[in-house]
Amino acid sequence: MLTQLSNQCRQDILKMINKAKAGHPGGSLSCIDILTYLYTKEIKLTKENVSSINRDRLVLSKGHAAPALYAILHNIGIIDSYETFRQINSDLQGHPNMNDTPGVDMSTGSLGQGISCAVGMAIGNKILENGHKVYALLGDGECEEGQVYEALMAASHYQLNNLIAILDYNGLQIDGAIGDVMNPAPFKDKFIAFGWTVIEINGHDFQEIKDAVQLAKTSEKPTMIIAHTVKGKGVSFMENKAGWHGKAPSDEELEKALKELQGGCNYE
Amino acid sequence: MSNMATREAYGLALARIVKENDDVVVLDADLSPATKTCYAKEARPDRFINAGIAESNMVGMAAGMAASHMKPFASSFAMFLAGRAFEQIRNSIAYPHLNVKLCATHAGITVGEDGATHQCNEDLALMRALPGMTVLQPCDAVETREMLNYLVNYNHPCYVRMSRLGVDSIYDENYKFELGKISTIIQGKSIAFIASGIMVSEALIAIEQLNQEGIYPSLYNVHTIKPIDQDKINSIAKSYDYVMTLEEHNVIGGLFSAVVEALKIPKIIYPIGIKDTFGESGTPEALMKKYEIHYTNIIDYTKEIMGHE
Ligand SMILES: Cc1ncc(C[n+]2csc(CCOP(=O)(O)OP(=O)(O)O)c2C)c(N)n1
Ligand SMILES: [Mg+2]
In degrees and rounded to multiples of 5, residue A92 shows phi and psi of -115, 90
Q: Which of B163, B149, B180, B68 is nearest to B110 (CA)?
A: B163
* Domain assignment present for B227: yes
Does B171 score more than 70 pLDDT? yes
> Catalytic annotation on B55?
yes
| Residue B32 and residue B135 in one domain | yes
Please give the residue range of the domain that contains residue A76.
2-262
Across the range A87-108, mean pLDDT stands at: 98
Q: pLDDT confidence of B308, banded at 50, 70, 90?
A: confident
Say yes or no: B154 and B190 in one domain: no
pLDDT > 90 in chain B, percent? 99
Residue A266 clears pLDDT 70, i.e. is over it: no
Ligand 1 pocket, A234 CB below 6 A? no
Inter-chain residue contact B118 with A181, CB threshold 8 Å: no
Per-residue pLDDT of A23-76, as tens digits, reads: 999 999 999 999 999 999 999 899 999 999 999 999 999 999 999 999 999 999
Instruction: Give me the pLDDT at residue B1, please.
Output: 63
Are B118 and B226 in a shared domain?
A: no
Confidence of residue B309 (pLDDT cuts 50, 70, 90): low
Task: Given the residues B8, B55, B146, B202, select the one marked as catalytic.
Answer: B55
Residues B145 and B210 in one domain: no
A268 inside domain: no
pLDDT in tens, A226-261: 999 999 999 999 999 999 999 999 999 999 999 999
The number of folded domains in chain A is 1
Judge whether A248 lies within some domain. yes
Does B122 lie in the same domain as B80? yes
| pTM of this structure | 0.96
Answer yes or no: do B47 and B160 share one domain: yes
pLDDT at site A129: 98
Provide the CATH number for the domain around residue B243: 3.40.50.920
How do residues B182-237 score in pLDDT, each as one tens digit? 999 999 999 999 999 999 999 999 999 999 999 999 999 999 999 999 999 999 99
B-interface mutation test, from A18, A85, A111, most B Cβ less than 10 A away: A111
Q: Look at residue A127 and tell me if it is in a domain.
A: yes
Q: Which domain holds residue B144?
A: 4-167
Chain Cα centroid distance, residue A119: 16
pLDDT of residue A268: 44
The contacts of residue B227 (CB under 8 Å, 6+ apart) are B134, B180
Looking at the domain assignment, is residue A155 inside a domain? Answer: yes
Calculate how far, in angstroms, residue A59's C-alpha sits from the geometric centre of ligand 1: 15
Angstrom distance (rounded) from CA B124 to CA A256:
45
Q: Which residues of A touch B51 (CB under 8 A)?
A: 144, 182
- Prediction ipTM score: 0.95
> pLDDT value at position A69?
98
The pLDDT confidence band at residue B131, using thresholds 50, 70 and 90, is very high
* Ligand 1 closest atom vs CA A27: 21
Any domain includes B69: yes
Residue A94 in this model has a pLDDT that exceeds 60? yes
The residue count for chain B: 309
Number of domains in chain B: 2
Residue nearest to atom 8 of ligand 1 (CA): A64
Mutate to test the interface with A, among B113, B278, B287, B292 (most CBs of A within 10 A): B113
Question: Is the pLDDT confidence value at A147 over 60?
Answer: yes
| Structure confidence at residue A264 as a pLDDT band (50, 70, 90) | low
Let me know if residue B175 belongs to a domain: no
CA distance linking residue B23 with residue B63, whole number of Å: 14
CATH number, domain of A80, equals 3.40.50.970
3-state DSSP of B226-274: ECCCHHHHHHHHHHCCEEEEEEEEECCCCHHHHHHHHCCCCCCEEEEEE
Distance CA(A14)–CA(A253), nearest Å, equals 10
- pLDDT tens per residue across span A48-62: 999 999 999 999 999
d(CA B303, CA B298): 9
Assigned domain for A181 exists? yes
Q: Are residues B84 and B210 in the same domain?
A: no
Q: Compare CB distances from B282 to A87, A111, A182 and report the shortest one's residue.
A: A87
The verdict on residue A98 lying in a domain is: yes
Single-letter code of the amino acid located at B2: S
Q: Summarize the confidence of residues B245-252 as an average pLDDT.
A: 98
Same domain, B13 and B159: yes
In chain A, which residue's Cα lies nearest the Cα of B52?
A182
Task: Answer yes or no: is A14 within a domain.
Answer: yes
d(CA B227, CA B125): 13
